[in-house]
Each structure stands twice: as C-alpha cells, then as structure tokens.
Amino acid sequence: MGTDLRDLIAAKRDGQELTPEQVQEFVTAATEGSAPEVQLASMLMAVLINGMSDAERTGYALAMMNSGEVLTWDHLDRPTADKHSTGGIGDKVSLIWAPLMAEMGYAVPMISGRGLGHTGGTLDKLESIPGFRTDLSSAEMDAVVQHVGCVITGQTADLVPADRTLYDLRSRTATVPSVDHIAPSIMSKKLAEGAATLVLDVKVGTGAFMKTRDDARRLAEVMVAIGRGAGRNTCALLTTMDAPLGRAVGNAVEVDESVDVLRGAGPMELRELTVDLCEAAIGAAGDEDMGGISIRDKLYAALDDGSALDRFGAMVAAQGGDATAVFDPSKLLGGEGLSESILVAPRGGVIAGIDALSVGLAVAELGGGRGSDGSAPDPGVGAWLEAHVGDHIEPGQPWARLLHRGGAGLDAARARMKAAVVVANVPAGADDRVLERIS
C-alpha cells in the first residue's frame, strides 16, 4: 500500500507549518514513488499557494539532499568552497572563479549545469575544449580536486534524485515559479556537493531569471537562510544582468574570454565581479588573514602572474581536455566554417544600453543555445561586443560581431541584435555590477 499524504496536504492547505519529519515524509514518497502522483502534485500546489517558513525550506532542501549521495571532503587538507549563479548572458565567471579560489588555498568541488533557455551553461562552455569531460564520477571528482584543487563537472545520477522527480512534476503542474520550491531545489544540489562555504551570485535584470531587485533579493535571502540553516557559510551578491557580462556571448568565445581574464587581461567588469565573488566567499569562510596581504590584492596577483591560468590548464588536462586549447583558441571546437557578420551603430552617441535578453536570444538563433529537444549547442557560434555600455560610438562604427554559419537564423539574430542596442546623446550611468550583499 502506498504512502497516504492527505494529512500533510491538508495541513499545508490550511497554512500550517510542517515539521522536518513531515517534509521528509513528502520527499521520501516522491523519491520512492510510494505516493500517488496526484498527492505529490497537490502538495506542490499547496506549498506554492501558502508558502513555507525558513525551517520548512531548510528541511525541504536537506531532505532532497539526503535522497541520494552526499559528497564529503573531510579528508582534504584545505577548506572547501563553491559558487552558484542563477544564470545570465555572458556569465562565464565559474571558469575563472574555480581556479582562482584554488590558488587561494581552497578546494572547489563545483557541480554545474547546462544552458537553460537563453542563458548559457558552464558545462556547454567547457565542452568546447576538445576532450573535456563533464561526466565525472564522485571518485573521479575527488581525484581531480586532490590533484588540482578544483573541478567543474555535471550532476551524477546519484546526487539529489528527489529534485529531478519533483522538478519534472513541477514543470507539469505549473508550480515552478515559487521561491519555496526554487530555493530548496537549488540549494539541495549545492549542499550535496559538500562544500563548507557557498557564495551565491543572484542575477537581476532583463537577462536574468529574476527581473526585479525585490524578487532577486527575496530569492537570495531565502537561499542564504537555507545554507546557514544547514550549517554552511553562505552569502549572496545581487548582481545586474541588464547588459551581457563581458564582451563574449556563446560557448568557445566565452572560454577564450575567460582565459584572457585568467592571464590578467580581459574586460574589467568581468575581472572585478569574479574578484568580488571570491572575496565574498573568503569573507564568509572567515579567512580574513592572507598573510598580511589584502584579499583583493592576492586575488589580483594570482590573475596577473598567470598562476590562476596555470591552475585552469591543469584542471582541463585532469578532466581529459586538450590543455593546449587554453592557450591557443584556434583549437577550441566549432571554429571551422564560421563566418562573421558585423553590426554597426545606427547613429553616433553613447551606448546607453545593450539588452542582455536580446543578445542571448540572438546567439540562440544562431544555434548557440540548447535545443528544446535537449540537443547540444553549436560551440563555435556567438556574439562579440566591440563596444559596451558607456562607450562613445560614431555612426556606422562596428559595435558587435556575430559568429555564424549562415542560414535563416542569421537574419533573426541580426534583428535581435539591432533591437538590443540603445544609443543616446548623454553619458550612461555607472555600470556597477554588484547591487548589494546578503549574508
């Protein structure tokens, strides 16, 4: 006989707070398939309508975490740290953050995802490196972390199986857009990674999942509460995603730009945001003493002297990738057969805005996004912004390039890019990526 969840459904329907044991009963029923799907769906809807307390959400995340394998790192001689981003256009920070934190003496066991809709996925970017494996087992993850100090791979089937079951049901029952489901879902996976410290990059703006600052703040506060309730050092930064981050949007082009930052160059805003997120994680861990050197200075030094780049190359090699492609972008996948299409400024003035969502959709039109059937993106296509917000531009001056393979998607991509750029007669306001910190 299956599990009967009617009493729990009634309690949540009536606005009551569930105990951790009751939340665990619901998640266990979902994991084992021991309750009728209609009851699971009813509980999901009751949560969406009446919400959860911090204690319930923490219990929800922990119950999903414990539905599968939980990684532990007690055998390491270094503290552990990880980062999560809610996703945006041109967000390649993880590729820089992980080796940079490893240079700071942390072990980084990072499990990342693939592209979703118009946002790029860290795994898709890394797979533009020939041979790079994103399907490591937990034992292989451990070996790479011990050898290199950082690893970036995909979720194994043994991690948080309850979340996969419940996410599928949420997608079929119109219960996805709820912080009470979203935050425990995100945090269950990050908690299962086992890192002691977690920094959250919660994006807000046109190219982000959360469009308003209030909504982003709410999500950040809830996730930080879950992390702290689970005993992890957790903080969040609210960061803007109205314009793409950096100048590259795509897969191989974003790896190339990440390497630029790792060698001490690249766009300043990308360099600064990565350092901000490293500094936030180190602060959350309580490691303020860097041997008399400020945290930021030590982070900058690891970028400028090439040590973080060497660490990235070592990670690529340890995960089966061709490390020479890190130093020679022509070896990245997808470059053959590409053409360039130049977009020019419609008039002179100052670039007052570049809509992140439009740029992301343009790259998707070229084949740079994951298909609705789950098909892999084209690693070579993408966009490169020759100018950015705040730059002065002359009429007819190139402001962006599209890397493409022709076809119907090119016209659609060009139209989206033309709609993305706003040229004004007055200087643009300061582009401060970090809006606030939540801890």
What pLDDT is recorded for position 2?
A: 74
The catalytically annotated residue of 12, 57, 83, 84 is: 84
pLDDT value at 38 more than 80: yes
Active site residue 185: yes
pLDDT at residue 1, rounded to an integer: 54
What pLDDT score was predicted for residue 136?
96
* pTM of the entire predicted model: 0.94
pLDDT digits (tens, 9 = 90+) for 67-102: 999 999 999 999 999 999 999 999 999 999 999 999
Q: What is the pLDDT of residues 143-185, one digit of tens each?
A: 999 999 999 999 888 999 999 999 999 989 999 889 999 999 9
Catalytic residue among 42, 85, 178, 185: 185
**What is the percent of the chain with per-residue pLDDT over 90, rounded to a whole number?**
86
Mean pLDDT of the chain: 93
- Quick one: CA dihedral 371, 377, 378, 380, positive or negative? positive
CATH superfamily of 334-424: Pyrimidine nucleoside phosphorylase-like, C-terminal domain (3.90.1170.30)
Helices (H) and strands (E) in the chain, counts: 17, 13
pLDDT 10s digits, 329-385: 899 999 999 999 999 998 999 999 999 999 999 999 999 987 766 678 999 999 999
Residues 258 and 95 sit within 8 Å (Cβ to Cβ): yes
The reported pLDDT for the residue numbered 369 is 85
Tokens 């570049």 belong to 354
Active site residue 163: yes
Closest of 40, 318, 319 to residue 166, by C-alpha: 40
- In the chain, the percentage of residues whose pLDDT exceeds 70 is 95
Measured CA distances, 206 to 72, 210, 244, 320, 428 (Å) = 37, 8, 10, 36, 17
Q: Is the pLDDT of residue 292 over 80?
A: no
Question: How far does the chain reach from its first CA to its final CA, in angstroms?
Answer: 45
Q: What is the mean pLDDT of residues 282-303?
A: 86
- Residue 189 among the catalytic residues: yes
Annotated catalytic residue within 12, 114, 118, 189: 189
**What does the longest C-alpha to C-alpha distance in the chain come to?**
73
- Residue ranges per structural domain of the chain: 6-51, 81-329, 334-424
Q: Which of 114, 118, 125, 170 is catalytic?
A: 170
Taking a C-beta distance cutoff of 8 angstroms, is the pair 94, 85 a contact?
A: yes
> 163, 256, 260, 276: which one is catalytic?
163
For residues 225-231, average pLDDT? 97
- To the question of domain 81-329 being in CATH 3.40.1030.10, the answer is yes
